[in-house]
Amino acid sequence: MNNDELLKTVKEKAEKWLGPQYDAETRAAVQAMLDSDDKTALIDAFYKDLEFGTGGLRGIMGAGSNRMNIYTVGAATQGLANYLNEVFKEEPQISVVIGHDVRNNSRKFAELAADIFSANGIKVYLFESCRPVPEVSYTIRKLGTQSGVMVTASHNPKEYNGYKAYWSDGAQMIAPHDVETIAYVNAITSVDQIKFTPNKDLIQIIGKEIDEQYLDDIKTLSLSPEADKKHADMKIVYTPIHGTGGMLIFDSLKKWGFENVIHVPEQDVQSGDFPTVASPNPENAEAMAMAVAKAKETGASIVVASDPDSDRIGLVVRDGKGEYQLVNGNQIVMIFLYYLITRNRELGKLTGKEYCVKTIVTTETIKRIAEANNVTCYDCFTGFKWIADVMRNLEGKERYLGGGEESYGFLPETFVRDKDAVSSITLMCEIAAWAAEKGMTLYDLLKDIYMEYGFSRERGVSVVRPGKTGAEEIVAMMKNFRENPPKELAGSPIVTIKDYSDLNCRNLKTGEVEKMNFPTTSNVLQFFTEAGDKVSVRPSGTEPKIKFYVEVRENLESTDKYEETVVKAEEKIEKVLADLGVK
């Protein structure tokens, strides 16, 4: 389709949004785009429909078919309601849980979803105000509902919002339910198909009573209560970065006995504008800067943070010089699983039937830790719904210790089926107390883990390509990597290529091709070198970018040489990225 044809199609589509079935504010916004000389905004808003994918909806808020608004959210909810009414038609009363984060329009979208579900005869448990993602997952399981919705765009910039759909096990949907739901949502082709008039008798507001049950269950995860008690005055800085974490995490830390939790008052303010940060992502040093400044001011031992929907954890620790260092997502998962495995072993709880889960792009060091302790480590696709899938399949057969992914998400419990910053932050503070009991900091602990199980260094790089042309460029990049894979990285030849789009694992030395055992395919490529390095390449499923995950191995001779080994590894990562043509 050439530009003239595209513009004609977009205009025709936009003009339908000027009809009386759309509200005045939407009509005015669409008319303004149509009247503008620059048609870029119009094209971006209408060149496609905002896709209800396997993770739900996520997009920029505004008028248009490719935007998050009451009509795209309405269509998603109506489609999901139709599917639930079909699948669970034998149930006397179908029910759902709805939660939302602090983002602009999140409450509006959550109440809209509640209205539409109730209009379709479905009972709704709607949280009274914003809540963390994991609490929605918890409540689905606790109340035994058939589904749930969380209105959130996680750690995306303030212009975004999203809509996550959950199934009856508290996990985000996978096949067949995700595919079937998508079909039902796509069948909503007109606003007239959406039932907007609510049945208020079917909407029940919930809140504090669920909070207390959730926090009580999190308290059962403690493995070192004596260390928590002894180090109750340990200085902990926690920031919710304007998000939902402030609702529960301070209370959770208090329940575990931590009495010296220091606030960052400016970031306790719940706001969808995220006024103190460029992006509310605890992966970024900039988002952690105010909390680190507070730690320097107070001499805190540890800095922890959660993103706006409180499923991701940020962590900063003090090094041997007293400086504060950001801990990456791979290291966070590694610390958690090391502690859970080690502490279970110390308590005599390891029976040989325990397991942990990591995603394919997460550090291989975790697998070495698990296997050395006779714990099975399962690999799964990126996204916590796949960790939840492993948990579902092994329920009652093996004991889950924990699961995580490099993107700063971890889950140490089974009563939630999504990553959980509430339990994870509280548990990380216990790990700091446990380390302190041994005369160590978390930084010391990290170095000891590397000495015992081998050193690796990871870095994630995202190449952003927004809009229609960007999406096309990302497709072309993946095609090129498949057709012209690199021969070597950082001077080490590629020995294995794993392509998850067809589940083929190719041994380049022998020429053998082996089928990988995964429940479905995924648009991910992995390159493994002779030196033990790993590169994973995948387009994001929720954002306009392609992601590169680089993991390199180096020899760590002693903990005293940790910093210089990190420098060597970072130099090697730069070489790998240069070989990939990534800037």
Question: Which residues form the catalytic set?
Answer: 154
Q: Give which of 387, 377, 408, 355 is closest to 169, Cα–Cα.
A: 387
Q: Which residue is it, tokens 């970031």?
A: 267
Reading the block at residue 240, the tokens are: 């919710």
| Cα separation, 166 vs 262, whole angstroms | 34
| Cα separation, 50 vs 70, whole angstroms | 12
Q: Which residue is it, tokens 């606003």?
A: 191
| Cα separation, 504 vs 90, whole angstroms | 41
| Cα separation, 489 vs 501, whole angstroms | 22
Q: Which residues contact 382 (CB under 8 A, 6 or more apart)?
A: 359, 360, 361, 405, 407, 522, 524, 538
What b/e readout covers 527-548, taking b as 16+ CB neighbours within 10 angstroms? bbbebebbbbbbbeebbbebbb
What b/e readout covers 363-385, taking b as 16+ CB neighbours within 10 angstroms? bbbbbbbbeebebbbbbbbbbbb
For helices 177-186 and 70-87, what crossing angle results, to 10°? 130
Q: How many CB atoms lie within 10 A of CB 453?
A: 18
3-state DSSP assignment of residue 463:
strand
| Cα separation, 544 vs 523, whole angstroms | 15
Q: Which residue is it, tokens 């008798």?
A: 201
Q: Which residues contact 469 (CB under 8 A, 6 or more apart)?
A: none
